[in-house]
Amino acid sequence: MSEFHDFDVLVIGSGAAGLTLGLKVAHKAKVAILSKNKLHAGSTSWAQGGIAAVLDNRDTTASHIEDTMIAGAGLCHHDTVTSVVEKGREAIDWLVEQGVVFTKDTEIKKDIFVDGDYHLTKEGGHSFRRVVHAKDATGRELQQSLELQARNHPNITLFENHMTVDLIRDTSLNPDESRCAGAYVFDTKLGRVDVFRAKCTVLATGGASRVYLYTSNPDGSTGDGIAMAWRFGCRVANMEFNQFHPTCLYHPETRTFLLTEALRGEGAYLRLPDGERFMSRFDKRGELAPRDIVARAIDHEIKRLGIDCVYLDISHKDKDFIKEHFPTIYQRCLDLGYDLTRQPIPVVPAAHYTCGGVMVNKAGQTDVKNLYAVGEVTHTGLHGANRMASNSLLECLIYANAAAKDIVNVMPQETLCDDIRPWDESRVMDSDEDVVVAHNWNELRHFMWDYVGIVRTTRRLERAARRVDMLAGEIREYYSSFRVTPDLLELRNLVVVADLIIRSALWRTESRGLHYMLDFPDTDPAMEGRDTILKPARRLSIK
């Protein structure tokens, strides 16, 4: 039997965006924060590089804005970029107040560091050193600090191992205007679906890179928030832009270990098996070109030469420098038999970041009343056709703060919905065919990698569209017949996300940013500034 839980604010997701929003509203609200695994199991903890912000006295917000606009290949919203970049220093100061400890400058190079204080790195697409970091484990430091604050806050209740099934619709106040009244949530430990009622609900569920066979993301990045919002009636945008990080460690024991872009920012080279550097043939910025260019260059060389991987080499730098700046990566590579200080490391591209997502305004509001979204689950207009390195955590912080302010303003006028039914399992049974879920999951991720990956063609996309339609039908039938499980819920969400990616990619008949089409290799000037917007009624527009 379902239990009912009542809160002012329900936050679905426990990474940087979700924890920040929860902490920002907790002085005025009773808050629930849900995590489908442990609180720290999301993508935030995996972030190595850092947070882009203008902290160097030689740097300017105008330069950060320009770099972001260039990386976004004509699809960034200038007003959004400006708003986010201008709040960078404020966001860093707030994190420090929460106990986040960033790496300080220990070198006498005050011309490139702000007042000799924070050590700043330079990553692909940036004109200046502007990435503040906690060595090579920034996400972990941020996650641990915010999690500690949340655990100690009297108005925040944390629910680990709770996976959202679907959002709850309330039409009791106005039949013509639905609002979000909370969510049905599966307690994976008890095997029970409970009801979480809330005045305001926030999606902070992260991205969808697990839709691909190879990814740098943790297992939970299955597009849950995007799929739930789509089923609920929200628009999504720019789902064709999936960022592939150029340098994921190529090793059979770890397919998800990222080698941060900061390595290339500090002078690492990309080499072919014979030792030749190749990036200068693809871009004058070499290894510091934006991620889409570097990933395509690596993919091209792998296919051209029929090799398994290329190599990232920073062994020409001082040994102590490498160990001091990249201790986590150094030790992990050493555990796997590679010495970062002495030899090149094998790398391949892997799905890394979902640049599109649920459409929101500058306050994080979706198309549905009382439903907000923050972080990677969203499309804000910041990233355009390609996210610039280390802008993602910045977006989480800025939009979580904006949404929190809006929620505090609107919440006093909202009430909990009294007409919510408990979860009904009377007409379903336990599955005796779990192999179906495993098989469909495997098939989906394989054909997305093969047909909807770094390089695409219309024929490949059409083939993927037929496959995803067939899988979607099978999964709907399975979902309607059997009790929910975590794997089934994730597969149900992934097939929705895969469909959105494929449909969006088919409509963008050009190559732009992360979307590269062999049969449309050029950028179409007529599509500059035009987002690909999908509506739940299956109508698609480019605006």
List active site positions: 291
Q: How far apart are CA 451 and CA 506, in angstroms?
A: 12
Instruction: Convert 107-130 to b/e letters by CB count within 10 Å (16 or more is b).
Output: eeeeebbbeeebbbbbbbbbebbb
Most distant pair of Cα atoms in the chain: their distance: 70
Query: What letter would DSSP give residue 387?
Result: P
Torsion over CA: 368, 373, 377, 382 (sign): positive
Q: How far apart are CA 401 and CA 93, in angstroms?
A: 13
Q: Which of 450, 466, 447, 458 is nearest to 518 (CA)?
A: 458
The HSE-up count of residue 85 (CA atoms within 13 Å, CB side) is 25
- Within 148-302, strands assigned E span 156-159, 162-170, 179-187, 192-203, 236-237, 242-249, 269-271
Q: Which of 145, 186, 134 is nearest to 40 (CA)?
A: 145
Angle between helices 434-451 and 486-507 (to 10 degrees): 20
Torsion over CA: 485, 488, 491, 492 (sign): negative
**What are 373's two structure tokens?**
């979204």
